[in-house]
Structure 1
Amino acid sequence: MYRTSRETHVGQARPEIASSWTRSRLNGLRADDTPGLKQESVAGAGGLTRAAGPVLERVRAELDDTPFAFVLADRTARVVDIRCADKAFGGALVDLGIVPGVRLGEDQVGTNAVGTPVETRKGLFVRGDEHFMAAFHEFACYGHPIIHPITRRLEGVVNIGGRAGDEHRLFSPLVRRVVRDIEDRLQLDASGAQRRLLAAFQAAARSPRRPVLVVGRGLVLATPAALDLLEPADHAAVQACAEGMRGEGEVTHRLTLVSGRTVWLRCAPVDGVEGALVDIVPEQPGRRGTRGAGTATGWPLLVVGEPGSGRTTEARRAVGPGSITLDATDVVRHGEQAWVSNLVALLEKDGPAVVIEDIQLLSEQVTLLLARCLRGTRRMTVMTTTPGGHLDGVHASLAALCGARRDLVPLRRRRHEIPGLAQRMLADATGPGHRRLTPDSLRVLAAQPWPGNLAELHRVIQIVARTRSAGDIIASDLPASHRGVPAPVSPFRQAEREIIVAAIEAAGGNKLQAARALGMSRSTLYNRMRALRIH
């Protein structure tokens, strides 16, 4: 039997506690469960921690040497900061697993003064055995939600905890004062940027029939017409599209919604703030998309893309079924002479199309021979390669022969497509309609760097499909390597990072050549690489 104290039965529990216990049981939790706390990345709560840090430090100093701890959690009940001056009490929290990066949601640990205020958006005092799990019975805590004063969005929770046994009557007024100070700092921090975003939205939303959104850091506003068009996965795609702008002015993307309808997203920057106004324009019948290349106007065709970006798929799509594939990686296994003999035999006679994979691995001699064969062959031929300076050097003769070229955009520059791609890959792995990725998990996926492109995304979805057999897939179900959300960077720093990465790739990994091409010293290049986390 669940009890609120040694004498009180569950039927006499406070209504807010009884309701929380019911939700905890519906989540499949038991009172005698061991809290399954897993530490994750705490990146992504910058605005909250920036506003709360000085306030929490001030109040910690005021309560110096008292056996209390302040816990700051974000809107998902994930702990992002802990302030505790008493080593013994701080050690008790660590022993229980309460450290930055763990989630204390009701769905994970039941009734508590972090997860329950997140659930109800109301302050709550939880005495010792009012906690759902017995592991928390030695604590008494009060938690209060932090509501953004402009957006009215839940930003997080401040919790103060101490040993059970005392009423701690000052907990509630003290935490309310702390929350009020944090909300004041949030308003000061966001008053300029978010007011401009709000003004831009109000100006665009004068017509209720106009499907339009404003997307900014920590703020998404949408008209009813936009909400009618978009499913949860579509919201993640639109947000990724808007956040992917890099200061080049208005951009347009073509997007196929979950419903199957195709729309155009016109993303325009909002003056003076990191944010975008997104107009959703349904595609008219007969209008065609502009992304990617159309049918090649000549042969051979060159397909250029990073590893995992879908070069093979694009090459086979171009020539249709029945093609023959030669892979330059087989030179190592079969030897150069045998590989060249097979190549010459194929291209000297008529037959189905030929796909030659990974030409960046061919030596200069084989490259010259292949170029001569291509000049005389009547077969449709497609070559695939990675981008880089080799196309202007060793393999320039092959690139010059091609009648058409298709450059595949890396997945990190197509973030708005990731939610739809992930859902389709999941449907292929589990069957349509069986499982779905939640909006939060799609947002996390869209934020990953994806150095392995589509192949890496497919591998992650396969892992999720095998490990989660039923129910919605939430962010914590993703592999640990793809669960954290990188801290947001400015459009300028993102553009700088991509320029440096491209220069290094073009130089074949030679940092000195890349530095010369960028007009900087090698030491400056290394400093910028460290600052931008380029490995």
Structure 2
Amino acid sequence: MGDDDRPAAAYVERMATDTVLERAARSVLFELTVAIENEPVSLILTDVNGIVLSRTGGDSALFTALDRVDLAPGFRYAETQVGTNGIGTALEVGRPLLVDGDQHFSGPLRSFSCAGAPVTHPITGAILGVVDLTTAAQNSNTLLLSFATLAATRLRERMLDDATELDRAIFSAYRSACRRSSRPVVAVGDEVVMMNSLTRQQFDSPDQMAILERTRDIGGETTPVTILTELPSGTVARLSYEPTFTGSRLAGGVVRITKQVASLRLSTSKANVPTPPAIAGASPLWRHTVQAVVDACRRQDWLVLDGEPGVGKTALIRAAHQLVPDRGLAVLDATALGDDLLTEASDELDSGSDLAILHAHVLNDTHLAALADLLQGPQAQEPPRRPWVVLTRYPQDSTDTTPLLRMFPKSITVPPLRHHLDDIPDLVRSLLDTLGATGLTLSPAASNQLARLAWRGNVTQLKKALEDTYRRQRSGVVEIDTLPPACRSTTRRTLTRMQALERDAIVDALALHAGDKTAAAAAIGMSRATIYRKIRQFGIVL
């Protein structure tokens, strides 16, 4: 018998864990094992990777036979490891199945019959593992599959019983929304994200990711919110958010999605308008935003640019204005100038310059009214004498700028970086060149890692990360282990200062000890169990 015909289940060292699956299994599997204690069958539980977590039931002869083929705790029975089998194949196809004797790929496994049923999370629907019944091939019957399916159902029910009150509330609201609506539905909570089949059918993967990101952005709201958003495909979607409460506590929210008409893509004539050379990024969403600002600048349409801090509003204004010959641009920061803003703005307008006022949301009512009075004269002028005026502000700010905004016919929201992550390679190259790091490039793995992050600080945060990287390495190819600690953690929640310091210490220790978790734990005074838990908690990439 050749090596290709033998099971190659690899042993995987696992630290002690306390997953939702294992918590449910403690009571459920004991009860089920009692029910089959007189049967020549073994009840096996694995995690989502096919690693055996427990093996109960059966007699000593069966256990000995299973040991010979490494079907024992700690061994991985993925289909890629041992071929067709009740555990790995159930994980691959995502449904219960029975693999009898000769149906196994590996010769030594053909003396067994295995019935595997995936165990799914009752809230998210994610596959957590497989419950498997294995017996000698001559003892196989259809009841094996029925019992495995029953065991998976019992585990799911127990997990639902153990789910937090908040999770149950959001799950109930999600199911109700799906029953009452024929539209795509998404639900989000602290630890839960769900989307119905209509969402998957009507939107491709990039659009689904964009929808989830926009849903997370409004997920903490305590009142209903409706937003219009352009997706990467160009489709405009209306997201109608309803918060879900349990008592006075916010559990999360449910979003119903309605497709609007597809956004107007650039016409042939617009496509010939040059793109600002200083602006990196080629994604449809970003190109659409850039072109809208360029068009407003060329037509001298007064404009408000909304957007989170660090998205590149100022850079976009400057780049668009570079395409307009023989016109100057004055950029005034309302935060820095304070009471001097109006004097500076008046002088610039008198000189015939175009005007960009940054952070208009910080102006008080008196300054807003005075600025509106100042702009009445320039607004009444006709192009080409009328200057171009643009304001920037943060949309989250509650400052009432309505009197001033009536003078601006159009607002454009500059998307956060997490909504156009496919532009990161272009942005990285542009930012590195700006830093003078022309001889520095990122490996595909490092670039992919950056694309996995939330970038709550947007392009400004990315620039700081690249500055830190450039201090660490000034030429050659940057690998993941050279990226700053914050870039090697994929958690999307906001960390406290102490949590960020702890994450950075773990990343640095792992880098110093070449990924050796035991040595890293000892170096920073942690137990092995704690450092494994922290690595999972922070999403640290090794």
Q: TM-score, normalised by structure 1?
A: 0.44
Higher RCO, 1 vs 2 (CA within 8 Å, ≥6 residues apart): 1
Q: TM-score, normalised by structure 2?
A: 0.43
